[in-house]
Structure 1
Amino acid sequence: MDDLYAGPTFLIRRAHQIATSVFQEACADLDLTPTQYSLLFVLRHRNPVSQNELGRYACLDRATTSLVVRLLRGRDLIAATDDARDKRKTLLSLTSAGRLLLGRAEQLSTKASRDLLSVFDEAQARTFVGLLDILATGHGRRDVEYKAETAGARFRWS
């Protein structure tokens, strides 16, 4: 059993469970998941975008993006309009309700991140987040676009 519990895939899965739980507890009153939050966050910065672009910016697969977009549209947090330049394309943007919810969620998300990292001292937390960044950018999303798009959205330490 020790081999399982000490393995990186097990530990990362367990850390993901904990991170999701901490976020969902913080945002329980908003009925918002980390994935929904990430799409709203991306839309605020890249508004409007196609569903395909939204999924790429949030590093989500198409099926997950489609499901979450449908849920957010159902809650009137995002709106869809036809692209005037390309009628085959639908553009997604935040609604007023989406902007309002995101504003409330950002403070709670920051608190959740701090709570999650509270098991570390500040130097350990910086190292941990830095190592996660290396792992995330080293696998899957190696393109320059991802690094450029996420560079300004890093966790704020102060």
Structure 2
Amino acid sequence: MRQKFDEFSFQTTKIAKKMHLFLSRNLADLQVTPEQWTILNIIHQKAPISQRELAGLSEKDTPTVNRIIDVLQRKNLVIRETDAVDRRKTLLSLSDKGSELTRILQETVEEACKNMFAGFSEQDLQTFATLLNQIENNIE
């Protein structure tokens, strides 16, 4: 016998995977993964930011963030600088190339989201966000 919430759990997982794949495909031409996009976007909004703060905001563990930052730095998108106040801390910001790419990525992600949520009213989207937040609060 199926449990009451089996279908919700299955469908949520399935749709989350499809949404991630959809975004991956939209970002592929720019040679950026959704995970890299997340990091670039947070740095764009919060720079200069420490790797620890970035890990917290992205809800990723520190080693994962460090690996993503290493890749972004090799692509010349991110700059690492030692904090003048606390030399143990590394601060991150976007390079000029990273800033330009992030602007393009913002437009690309916005267009992908418009396609993903086509047919939804503003009220639908607000309700959806409220429901997702409630689920997240229940889990935490």
Both proteins in one fold, TM over 0.5: yes
Amino acid at match of 1:81: E
Give the Å deviation of 1:49.
1.0
SS in 2 for 1:88: coil
| 1:110-133 alpha-carbon deviations (Å, 9 max, x no partner) | 111122222x53143332222123
Task: Name 2:79's counterpart in structure 1.
Answer: 79
Q: 8 Å contact 2:50–2:90 — kept in the other structure?
A: yes
Task: Name 2:107's counterpart in structure 1.
Answer: 107
Amino acid at match of 1:128: F
SS in 2 for 1:25: helix
CA distance in 2, matches of 1:139, 1:15: 19
Task: Name 1:24's counterpart in structure 2.
Answer: 24
Give the Å deviation of 1:55.
1.1
Aligned residues: 138
Output the aligned Cα RMSD.
Answer: 2.1
Q: 8 Å contact 2:27–2:34 — kept in the other structure?
A: no
Gaps of 5+ in 1: 141-158
Give the Å deviation of 1:35.
1.4
CA distance in 1, matches of 2:135, 2:95: 34
- After superposing the two structures, state which structure 1 stretch, 11-20 or 120-129, moved more: 120-129
Q: Taking structure 1 as the reference length, what is the TM-score of the superposition?
A: 0.77
Which is higher, the Rg of structure 1 or of structure 2?
A: 2
Give the Å deviation of 1:7.
4.1
1:138 to 1:110, Cα distance in 2 relative to 1, 3 A:
farther
Task: Name 2:34's counterpart in structure 1.
Answer: 34
| 1:11-60 alpha-carbon deviations (Å, 9 max, x no partner) | 23212211111112222211111211111111111101111111111221
1:131 matched to 2:127: no
